[in-house]
Amino acid sequence: MKKKINKFLLIASLLLFFVLQSGHAAEAPAREYYQLTVYHYSSNEQEQVLDTYLQQALIPALHRINIKSVGVFKAIANDTAVVKKLYVLIPLKSLTAVTELTKKLSSDKAYLASGAAYLNAVYTAAPYTRMETILLQAFSLAPVMQLPQLKSPKKERVYELRSYESATEKIFQNKVHMFNEGDEIGLFKRLNFNAIFYSEVIAGSKMPNLMYMTSFENMADRDAHWKSFGSDPAWKKLSAMPEYKNNVSHIDIMFLRPTDYSDY
C-alpha cells in the first residue's frame, strides 16, 4: 500500500512539474506599444522651447510614472534642412497606457509648471510648425525594446529609423513574416545591429507600414554593418526566396542623433 502511495505521489509531482514548465514556456512577454512623436520646426527659438520642455518637463514626468527608456533624437539632416525634425519615442505596455498618458500628465503639477512655456504657448509663437504622432506595436518575436550597447559619445552615434511600406495589407504581413519567421531579426542580431525595436504601424499617415530602429557608434560603423548585411549568405538566401519577393513598395531612411538628455 505504501509503495502505491509513493508511486502516486511521484506521478502527481511529475505531472505538476510538467504543467508548471509548460505554463512558463507559454508566458511570452507581451508586445509593447510605442508612441513616436515627430516635431517639425524651423527656428532656434522653437528648438529651445522643445528641448526645455522635453528635458525639464516631459521626460521627468514620464520617469515618475515608471516609463524609463524615453528616446529623443534629432535628424542629422537638420544641419542643412529648412524644416527640421525632432523625434520622441515613448514605450508603453498597452493601448490603455497610450490613452491614459495625457490624463496622467495633466494631473502632474510639476510637469505643468516645468512645461509651462511649451504648454501655454500662444498661436503666434508655437513651439513647432507641425506635430505627427505614429502608434506602433512591437513584432511578436521582438516584443520589448532593447537598449543599445554603444560606447561612443552620444554626439557621434547614429540611430537609423527605417520605414517600409507595402502595396497591400496582405503583402505587408508577408514582410512582417519575413522579419519574424523568416528570421531577418535574427540576422540583424547576429550582425550586432543594436536594434532598439521592430514594429508594425497601427496608426499613422503611411500605411501599411512597419518601422524599426538600429543604432551604431558612428556613420562609418553604420556603413560597415550594412555592407556586411548585404553580403551575408543568410540575407542572400532569404531575399532570393520567391515567397518574399516584392513585399516592400517604398522605403524611408532617417538618420538620427540622440540628444544629450535622451535616455539612450
Looking at per-residue confidence, does 3 or 151 come out higher? Answer: 151
d(CA 87, CA 133): 10
Is 2 a member of any domain?
no
Is 19 a member of any domain?
no
Which pLDDT score, from 0 to 100, does residue 14 have? 44
Is 13 a member of any domain?
no
pLDDT tens-digit series, residues 169-210: 999 999 999 999 999 999 999 999 999 999 999 999 999 999
Which pLDDT score, from 0 to 100, does residue 133 have? 97
Q: Average pLDDT in the 134-141 region?
A: 98
pLDDT grade for 29, boundaries at 50, 70 and 90 = confident
Report whether pLDDT(16) > 50.
Answer: no
Q: Average pLDDT in the 223-238 region?
A: 98
Report whether pLDDT(22) > 80.
Answer: no
Q: How many independent structural domains does the chain possess?
A: 1
Q: What is the DSSP string of 91-148?
A: EESSHHHHHHHHHHHHT-HHHHHHTHHHHT--GGG-S-SEEEEEEEEE-TTS-S----
Q: What is the DSSP string of 4-51?
A: HHHHHHHHHHHHHHHHHHHHHHH-PPPPPEEEEEEEEE-SHHHHHHHH
Domain coverage including residue 65 = 33-258
Q: Average pLDDT in the 128-133 region?
A: 97
Is 16 a member of any domain?
no
DSSP run (H or E) holding 61: helix 59-64
Q: With CA atoms as reference, report the closest residue to 159 among 209, 211, 236.
A: 211
Which pLDDT score, from 0 to 100, does residue 67 have? 97
Arithmetic mean of pLDDT over the chain: 92
Q: Hey, how many other C-beta atoms are within 10 angstroms of the C-beta on 143?
A: 15
Is 153 a member of any domain?
yes
Is 136 a member of any domain?
yes
pLDDT tens-digit series, residues 51-100: 999 999 999 999 999 999 999 999 999 989 999 999 999 999 999 999 89
Return the percentage of the chain with pLDDT > 70, whole number. 89
Is 109 a member of any domain?
yes
CATH number at residue 102: 3.30.70.100
pLDDT grade for 19, boundaries at 50, 70 and 90 = very low
Q: Average pLDDT in the 106-123 region?
A: 98
Looking at per-residue confidence, does 122 or 5 come out higher? Answer: 122
